[in-house]
Chains A and B, each alone.
Chain A
Amino acid sequence: MSKKDVKLKIKELKTNTGVIKDLELSLGKIVDESWKEPLGPTAFPSVTALREWDMKLLKRYKPFYMPFCDMCCLCTYGKCDLTGDKRGACGINMSAQQSRIVLLACCIGTATHLGHARHMIDHLIEKYGRRHPIDIGGLNVEIEAPIVRLVCGVKPKTLGDLEDIQNYAESQLTHLLASTHTGQEADNLDFESKVLQAGMIDHVALEIADIAQVSAYGFPKADPDAPLVGLGFGAIDIEKPVIMVIGHNVVPSISIIDYLRDNDLVNKVEVCGLCCTAHDITRYEKRAKIVGPISWQLRFIRSGVPDLIVVDEQCVRCDVLDEAQKIKAPVIATSEKNCAGLPDRTHDAVDDIVADLVSGKTPGALILNPDKVGEVAAKVVTQVAPTRKKFKTLPEVQELIEKAKECKKCNECIRACPNMMPITDAITAAGKGDLTKLAELYELCVGCGRCEHACSVGIPIHSFIVKAAEKQMKEEKFLVRSGRGAIQDVEIRNVGSPIVLGEIPGVVAIVGCANFPKGGKEVADIATEFAKRRYIVVTSGCSAMSAAMYKDEEGKTPYEAFSGAFEAGGIVNVGSCVANSHIAGAAIKIAMIFAKRNLRANYEEIADYIYNRVGAVGVAWGAMSQKAAAIASGFWRLGVPVVVGPHGSKYRRMLLGRKENEEDWYVYDARTGDKVYVGPAPEHLFYAAETKEEAMVMIAKLCMRPNDTTRGRAIKLTHYIDLHKRLYGTMPDDVHLFVRNHNDIPITMKDEIVKILEEKGWKETRIPDPTLLPRLIRKKKEE
């Protein structure tokens, strides 16, 4: 790949053959001479290049704003009260303000992934060189970077190639962030279009970060049989010195493992992690362990198990240093984005840093050289562990009971709890010696710790909950399949047809954070329900961990009970947050491998294909972060709906269809150019469900696509109706909108559905070759 960024401007040129005036010539940014696939229309798209596509989506799925704040406080004109759609001092109205905040959130999310990718790629280039090849699956993965190919129109072959893509993505992010300044963009839909651009750029960042680390570190390469690794408190050998790593950027943690390996310490020191760094250490070293999702941070630190805590970036609690000091564990911060107020010891001698951390002279150190982190961490943990003796801050039972008696029953704990758990009752019972109610809260608790800060008598409520469930916590021992990375091309070949035709009822991607409304079990329930129904279930991030934390009657976790292949009935852990790119990548590859559509810089056409044909749904049941917002918006632009849990309503904007508005649900038939009614499939693009049951029914419904064959639609309707009957206790009232002809009707429900169709005055429609893009209409054949 070579870079060409040439601009030629000629005011006046006289030659023997004539005169040229005001000639301006611009050559594209990057041209790959060796790639024969024709370049599509939107290579390295600018902020507005895909605006037309966005507006098509936003016309169907009009933003529904639920202001999370009535004010704008972003400039010194303000605060401005925008209540009732008043305008602020800059002229902005509430709709634009809400979409502006959504854009800000997505920019933050995209920036974290881009910052992560930049650090990762720079580090790997320094270590392995610019020419280190991209290899994420050998011969099994020829389309190694589908998002980059689709968005940028280039085919990266080396780590160095990723830098050019990074530069483009960073410039886009700058423009997007700039547009949120006071007194610029005025229109909410234009903000929304930029949200979708941010999401698309986020997916680029995810992809380049993950393919860089998979290629350089030798993570599982599209391996459906990636090893099963230990997860949970009970999986960790607490007899050994324990290093706990937290965050999302695995570079320093890799250096720790390398140092342990090089010094024959890997079996003598336990390395365990939280959040995505945990996924990525197990992709590198299968003996490493995963503690759990983000919500396990406080409880694990307070258990006293970690002898050393190493933090990198993203989703790291801001009180880690305080909590670590309470258990006498030193902290090493490793990222410029998260210095934790610690002294920069990057250039100090290793032995000096070790001495200070072991003696407790300093509670922690900022070390920005990953190799040095590895050496310091290994030396510190082996010296600190024997003296710490797993010092913990969990109370003894009698101490807990005595303190619980001080509860004033003011309910401030409940009022601070995101899920309003019945804490007061549990503490009251504890004061009488009964810890069972406290223990029951353990599985529901998202581990935020807000209850403690609200307590007027200083009861360490979270610690009480953990103590009450200590036995259960120590027995948490599960297996999760290590993040496999990409989906193989051959897997796409095998499932492309049944997905597009609807015979595999859908792809359900369970992703995102752990702000669950009723604990993580709901995630496991959703995953197993759809896997049993022969959907393809894909997991990533904290949700991939939560899905593993429950066992069936045979004592198997979902990853043991179901295949790790991208196939019907599989539960496929792709890996950390950045590995979400492989989920989007799989949808894109279906369009290319199965349908043989040109991928290269052909975003609109591929998104149109996915939207109309690939029955994929994202589920972020506990989504809480700005990163989750950015990831979701990347899926929206590709036409993939996303369902979030009730807390997801706080993202303040949904993208909802109106199924009763018939005029909204027409597509072009690419064969004839006719406009054909296809029903509300999919009905929504971004949707918050109130309960797990509601979400499950909606997931099944959102898998329907206009292109489904009659057999495929019948299968999808079977699941939708079956789930609705089981979980709602009724037949859905909108079945008639999804039946196009009698062959769509599930055979076992024929009588019941035919009766409904008659009552609703249903009329048969035809199944088109669906597209939203007029340019894809082939000319009507002459008779």
Chain B
Amino acid sequence: MSLAESWQRAEVGGPKKALLITKPAVVVTMIKKAKRPILIVGSGVLDKVAKDKALIDLIIQLAQKGKVPVVATAHIVGDFLKRNFKPTTSMPSVDIVNRLVDGKWPGLDGKGQYDLALFIGLPYYMEWILLNALKHFAQSIKTVSLDKTYQPNASWSFSNLTVEDWIQNLEEIIDKLGAE
């Protein structure tokens, strides 16, 4: 299998396709270098990724270690709160991306538009199309898919990974973000 293949076969990318995240350090560097990162978290993070582990727990660690503001899409804000983590905001996925394509949007804190948008947990096809909106209409924002499947419309994406490899990558990102 080619590494840069859309997970849903028919959702092929266009002429400009995501670069592969070959090692977790790439994501760590991008987050650390970004002046205004934002993490958009979809309903899929409620899925369990191991017997006693839901993805949302990893995401909370990642946001905390990376000091990245979190947008909880769909109805999942309550699940964050149950874990004593308050997302920066709760907003439908189409709403947050609609604001990201607006160069004049002052951001959630009034300090200006973001320069790095990380995505995880949206339905594959929905994330695909939302990332494409950003690819075309928000070229100053770099986008990263942290999902376990290749998202061709991001600037950077993992290849199609096994759950185990994916979790290992995410945990490594979290570890490295925590390191000085």
Which residues of A does B touch, CB under 8 Å? 64-71, 81-85, 94, 412, 415-416, 418, 420, 454, 517, 646-647, 649-650, 652, 654, 656, 658, 687-691, 693-694, 697-698, 727-730, 733
Contact = CB atoms under 8 A, between A and B. Distances in A.
B88 to A, nearest CB: 11
A624 to B, nearest CB: 12
Contacts of A85: 136-137
Q: Which range holds the interface residue count of chain B?
A: 35 or more
B52 to A, nearest CB: 19
B43 A66 contact: no
A179 B74 CA distance: 37
A728 B77 contact: yes
A728 B90 contact: yes
Given A690-B126, A729-B81, A654 B89 contact: no
B26 interface: no
A70 B94 CA distance: 19
Interface stretch (B9-17, B27-35, B61-69, B164-172): B9-17
Nearest to B46: A691
B159 interface: no
Nearest to A81: B15
Contacts of B124: 420
A649 B73 CA distance: 15
B8 A70 contact: no
B132 interface: yes
A231 to B, nearest CB: 29
B42 interface: yes
B101 interface: yes
Given A70-B15, A81-B14, A649 B132 contact: no
A693 B74 contact: yes
B92 interface: yes
30 contacts: A64-B98, A65-B133, A65-B136, A66-B97, A66-B132, A66-B133, A68-B132, A69-B14, A70-B16, A70-B136, A83-B14, A84-B16, A84-B136, A415-B9, A418-B8, A420-B8, A646-B126, A649-B126, A649-B129, A656-B98, A690-B73, A690-B74, A690-B92, A690-B122, A694-B92, A728-B75, A728-B77, A728-B78, A730-B77, A733-B90
Contacts of B97: 64, 66
* Residue of B89, B125, B136 with highest tally of chain A CB at under 10 A: B136
Contacts of A650: 125, 129
Interface in B87-119: 89-90, 92-95, 97-99, 101
Nearest to A696: B75
Contact of B93 (A69, A94, A690): A690
A729 B74 contact: no
B137 A656 contact: no
A690 B15 contact: no
Given A66-B130, A688-B126, A698 B92 contact: yes
Contacts of B85: none
B82 interface: yes
Given A64-B101, A67-B136, A85-B136, A416 B9 contact: yes
Given A64-B133, A729-B82, A690 B125 contact: no
Given A83-B14, A83-B15, A730 B81 contact: yes
Contacts of A82: 136
